[in-house]
Amino acid sequence: MNIYKGLNEITKYIDDNLDEKIDYEVFTKILGVNLYTVQRLFTMIAGLSLSEYIRKRRLSSAGYDLYEGKEKIIDIAIKYQYDNATSFSRAFEKFHGIKPSKVNTDSKLKNFPRIIFDENIKQTSELSYEIINMEELNLYGVGFQTSNEDIGKSAPIFFKQTQDKYYDKYGEIVYGMITYDIAREESQKYYCMFDKEIKEFEHIVIPKSKWLRFRINSQNPKEIQDISHKFYKEFVPSMKYNLKEIPELEYYHDEITDFLVAIY
């Protein structure tokens, strides 16, 4: 299937079910991959997570309903899957900049339209990779909370600060690691990791797995990020693998970087 056609089926399904519970399993059937892969793919191509997209479409539609003035606030809240009027009111005001109770025919509201992807996009660039098997890794390191929007700028800064702080004591940072919060559909933490036991650091076990390895002849942050973006926007849409819920790794060695993504 054309991946962009599949994504358009997903956004149409969402629009057809804004006032119903969204069944995420429908997305996996449309694209033929697991939910984790669907979520990562949508986030990287659309620029926001599925849950955020659904939230914004519902609040946009709720604004129109309130503007029409035919339904009570509590009924609209329930219609768009909010547990109560309070949580709906809080989300509505954050999105539209006005309380639901203040909406009238003179109010200025935001509209977040359905995303429609260009189905004619063709990816012609090549991206070389290997499939490798790796034994369990025991890594030790420090990390910080981040997000999809911030990680591109904040991760290189954190890496340099960590390297400067601990180099004399522990040597070179061996791995960079990104964890992903499946519930929030967000990049959760970026870590700088060492492959030796350091008691003051967090210990994280990376299980034995099969990995896609993309070799970058550099340790330049921009070049690493370019490969990461290329992977999600060009490689994932046409690949035959499912992504595993294991953190992405960047392995720094011999003046090169291995960008590693777990699959099955």
Q: Judge whether 88 and 76 are in contact, CB under 8 Å.
A: yes
Return the CATH number at 49: 1.10.10.60
> Could you tell me the pTM of the whole model?
0.80
HSE on the CB side for 228, CA within 13 Å? 22
d(CA 77, CA 56): 14
- Check whether residue 21 and residue 88 sit in a common domain: yes
Task: Give the model's pLDDT for residue 262.
Answer: 97
In the chain, the number of structural domains is 2
The predicted-structure confidence for 150-198, as pLDDT tens digits, reads as follows: 888 999 999 999 999 999 999 999 999 999 877 666 557 899 999 999 9
Rounded (5°) CA angle 126-132-135: 150
- Check whether residue 142 and residue 254 sit in a common domain: yes
Q: Which of 102, 119, 142 is the last residue of a domain?
A: 102
Task: Give the model's pLDDT for residue 246.
Answer: 93
Q: Domain of residue 178: give its range.
A: 130-263
The answer as to whether 118 is a domain residue is no
Task: Give the model's pLDDT for residue 183.
Answer: 64
HSE on the CB side for 104, CA within 13 Å? 2
Task: Give the model's pLDDT for residue 150.
Answer: 83
Q: Which of 102, 120, 147 is the last residue of a domain?
A: 102
Task: Give the model's pLDDT for residue 76.
Answer: 97
d(CA 89, CA 95): 10
d(CA 52, CA 106): 27
Q: Which of 102, 117, 139 is the last residue of a domain?
A: 102
Q: Which residue has the tokens 């960047």?
A: 250
If phi > 0 it is left, if psi is from -120 to 50 it is alpha, else beta; for residue 139 that is beta
- Check whether residue 138 and residue 199 sit in a common domain: yes
The list of the chain residues with pLDDT below 70 reads 1, 122-125, 183-187
- Check whether residue 251 and residue 144 sit in a common domain: yes
d(CA 131, CA 153): 29
Task: Give the model's pLDDT for residue 135.
Answer: 97
Task: Give the model's pLDDT for residue 187.
Answer: 57
- Check whether residue 137 and residue 68 sit in a common domain: no
Q: Any residues with CB less than 8 A from the CB of 185 and at least 6 apart, and which?
A: 39, 43, 49, 50, 51, 52
**In degrees to the nearest 10, what's the CA dihedral of 35, 37, 42, 47?**
130
